[in-house]
Amino acid sequence: MIWSSVGVSFIDVLWSFLSVCFLVAFVAHKISTHLPRKHQTCRLYVLFQDLIRYGKTKQTLKRDDWLFIFDVPKRWFSHFYAISVGWNGFLLILSLNFILQQQSYPVWLTEILDMLTGVPHTDSQVPQLSTVLVLLLLWFHSLRRLLECLFVSVFSDGAIHLVQYVFGLGYYLLLGLTALCSDRLGKGAGPPLSQLNWLHVAGGTLFILASLLQHQSMVLLARLRTGKSGTVETLAHRMPKGGWFELVSCPHYFAELLIYVSLSLVFGGLSLTWWLVVLYVFFNQALAAQLCHDLYVTKYESYPRHRKAFIPFVL
């Protein structure tokens, strides 16, 4: 396989490519904010903004009528997590069977992992405890986000682009496969329980704290539209406040980054592949946070100028 012949796996190239794409999109957006207003009406600019924006950040964009054809409801975000719960739960069961009952992965899954890593299954190591833990935490994360979408979040009539929707579905399918790739690119040592170390504990602790931060942020966002009784009073967008919203415009995006960093710690901090996933999440969430921050600053004259968009005191 060409990737293995040069010492580079396809999965690493893929995540690197996605990271670069969102880095370019982030830089392009920052540059576009300084363009003369007349350039902000050209079709290329509008198409670019239509592809990177969603929800409230898309509603202020002046688009041609034909672009609305590609809009799907933002509430369909729940589909991403439903797919992730099912798919990553399935991969978790296969991994547990591999460890506990020595049942091999299905042939089709083995072939996919061979292609992604360039490492034949006959040369792969025994499953690692880290891989199982990451799949388990991914499953919990997806389940929590699904429940939040269904029972906490109050969605307006905001939209996402069809391309974003299809990409999101594929993203959560790829995540679980990426976790399994560590079995090919890493080395297990001894029985799974003997592999337990302090990084698993540190990663798990950070995962819990980041998940609590994200949940708190989602609750605060939902309360902007509900009354004391919990009933929806408005679908209008209001200025967020309270909690970590006093530090950054999008603490839920910052928490998302911390969650992926925590999974990298669970991998021992040595998985290049997962650090590339973290890099992708960083640029992806930074772009989304910057779009929200720009909207808040423009829309609310009283918006605190000291707040950062994404990372407290930094970005």
Predicted confidence at residue 274, as pLDDT, reads 94
CB 257 within 8 A of CB 278: yes
Predicted confidence at residue 118, as pLDDT, reads 83
Nearest to 272 by CA among 8, 2, 4: 8
Confidence of residue 4 (pLDDT cuts 50, 70, 90): very low
Predicted confidence at residue 285, as pLDDT, reads 97
Confidence of residue 93 (pLDDT cuts 50, 70, 90): very high
Q: Which one has a higher pLDDT value, 135 or 38?
A: 135
Distances 89 to 21, 81, 113, 142, 150 between C-alpha atoms, Å = 29, 11, 17, 10, 19
Q: What is the mean pLDDT of residues 191-204?
A: 82
Confidence of residue 100 (pLDDT cuts 50, 70, 90): confident
Separation CA 116–CA 165 (nearest Å):
23
146-168 pLDDT, tens digit each: 999 999 988 888 899 999 999 99
Residue 71 is classified by DSSP as E
Instruction: Spell out the long-range contacts of 21-30 with Cβ–Cβ below 8 A and sequence spacing 24 or more.
Output: 22/280, 22/283, 22/284, 22/286, 22/287, 23/283, 25/52, 25/283, 25/287, 26/283, 26/286, 26/287, 26/290, 29/287, 29/290, 29/291, 30/290
The per-residue b/e assignment along 176-187, b for 16 or more CB within 10 angstroms, e otherwise, is: bbbbbbbbbbbe
Separation of first and last alpha carbons in the chain: 40
pLDDT for residue 39 is more than 70: no
Q: Give the three-state DSSP class for 313.
A: coil
109-135 pLDDT, tens digit each: 999 999 998 877 654 454 578 889 999
Predicted confidence at residue 238, as pLDDT, reads 86
- Look over the chain and give the mean of its residue pLDDT values, rounded to a whole number: 88
Predicted confidence at residue 113, as pLDDT, reads 92
Predicted confidence at residue 59, as pLDDT, reads 81
Predicted confidence at residue 103, as pLDDT, reads 81
pLDDT for residue 53 is more than 90: yes
Q: Which one has a higher pLDDT value, 305 or 177?
A: 177
Which residues pair with residue 232 across a beta bridge? 226
Non-local CB neighbours of 284 within 8 Å, separated by 6+ positions: 22
Nearest to 133 by CA among 203, 76, 224, 235: 203
Q: What is the mean pLDDT of residues 15-19?
A: 97
